[in-house]
Amino acid sequence: MDTKSHLIETATTLFQQKGYKTVGLNEILKACNVTKGALYHHFPNGKDELLVTCLLALKEDITTDIQTIFSKHLSTKDAIISMIDTLIHSFEKTGTITGYTFSSIVSEMATMSEEVRKACSDLYENIEHIYCTKLLEDGFSKEAATAMSLLLTASIEGAMMLCLTQQSTDPLKTIAKLLPNIMEKF
């Protein structure tokens, strides 16, 4: 394979595994036996240009991948289930999630210490617990409350990520309108 493609593939994997800041140029270079001269020949603007190239290629891959899954299934429901299933299997196999999102690249979570991971996990647990308690007061069943509190946590967390990337508060606003409707129907 040509040097440039080799560089992109290796860098993409490393970025996904460890995050952009964590991965140094030398690490990428060593991983695919390419010298600095070659890198700056193909990417005159250095690391940043390499990242952008990786993201653009990845975007195409992910989009067609999801597109394929959706064309295979009749309803959105089935497609979503199949898609999440793919994610779950990938996680169980590799121990991390790299597909269908950029967050693994812009997140340093994978490289954080166990203590840090635990602190983050504890926070989400606290939040979910608050939600769950209130939902039980609202009259939800135990199972429904548990599932719903997770949906609340996840969708708000995800909406925050979307707001940051879009530089807009629209995602949170939409979620805020939708979640009450959903809760009422349960």
- Site of interaction with DNA (CB under 7 A): 2-4, 23-27, 34-38, 40-42, 45-48
- Contact (CB, 8 A) for 29 and 42: no
**Cα Rg of the chain, angstroms:** 20
Give me the amino acid identity at 10: T
24 binds a second copy (CB under 8 A): no
> Can you read off the two tokens belonging to residue 110?
């994978």
Tell me whether residue 7 or residue 132 sits nearer to DNA (CB atom).
7
Residue 37 CB, shortest distance to a second copy, in Å, is 24
Site for a second copy in 72-131 (CB under 8 A): 75-77, 79-81, 83-85, 87-88, 91-92, 96-97, 100-104, 106-110, 112-113, 115-117, 119-124, 126-127, 130-131
Q: In sequence order, what are the residues at sequence separation of 6 or more whose Cβ sits closer than 8 angstroms to the Cβ of residue 70?
A: 76, 79, 83
Tell me whether residue 45 or residue 169 sits nearer to DNA (CB atom).
45
103 binds, among a second copy, DNA, none (CB under 5 to 8 A by kind): a second copy
Tell me whether residue 46 or residue 141 sits nearer to DNA (CB atom).
46
Q: Calculate the alpha carbon distances from 59 to 90, 161, 179 in Å.
A: 18, 17, 29
What is the contact mask toward a second copy in residues 162 to 181, using x (rule: CB under 8 A)? xxxxxx-x-xxxxxxxxxx-
Give me the amino acid identity at 40: Y
28 binds a second copy (CB under 8 A): no
CA nearest 38: which of 67, 11, 78, 66? 11
Question: Quick count: other Cβ atoms within 10 Å of Cβ 159?
Answer: 20
What is the contact mask toward a second copy in residues 38 to 57, using x (rule: CB under 8 A)? ----------x--xx--xx-
